[in-house]
Amino acid sequence: MNIPPVGTQSPPYSHVVEPGAIRRFVEALGLGYQPYRDVESARAAGYRDVVAPPTFMITLHGQPIPGLDLPEAGLIHGEQTFRYGEPVVAHDVITVVSRLVEVKTRGPLTFLTLETTGINQEQAMTFVSTSTIIARQAQS
């Protein structure tokens, strides 16, 4: 396991939010809110285009954080929270950057806190995801 210094961040990665990706996500979850499905309903609700559900942001991954090398087995996803800003709509370009914000060790466990931020083409924050990953240190 290799952990870079706190503050190390990934290179930016941009996603073009495809209407079909929103549609498939909404259909998979069985969501009926019409602005998720129909442009005219979305515009009537004040959005520029079909709007993505808040949970869609989990699909917008960043690049790996340089130097962060975790074991493939034995990782636990401990916690995840989201803060939301500007709604994400079809055709937005969301640039994602992940950053290592905290590392704590308790016995054989290492707790890593990662923060992933999405910024749209207008430089507005769309989401900030904070997640805790728990890794067991290798036994000697």
Distance (Å, whole) CA 49 – CA 28: 20
- β-sheet with 109-119: strand ranges across: 13-16, 93-106, 109-119, 125-136, 76-84
Which domains, ranges and CATH numbers included, belong to the chain?
13-136 (3.10.129.10)
Residue 131 predicted with pLDDT over 60:
yes
User: What's the pLDDT tens digit per position in 30-67?
Assistant: 999 999 999 999 999 999 999 999 999 999 999 999 99
Residue 134 predicted with pLDDT over 80:
yes
What pLDDT score was predicted for residue 127? 98
Residue 140 predicted with pLDDT over 90:
no
Averaged pLDDT for residues 94-110: 96
Residue 76 predicted with pLDDT over 60:
yes
Query: Of 61-65, 69-73, 126-130, where does mean pLDDT reach its minimum?
Result: 69-73
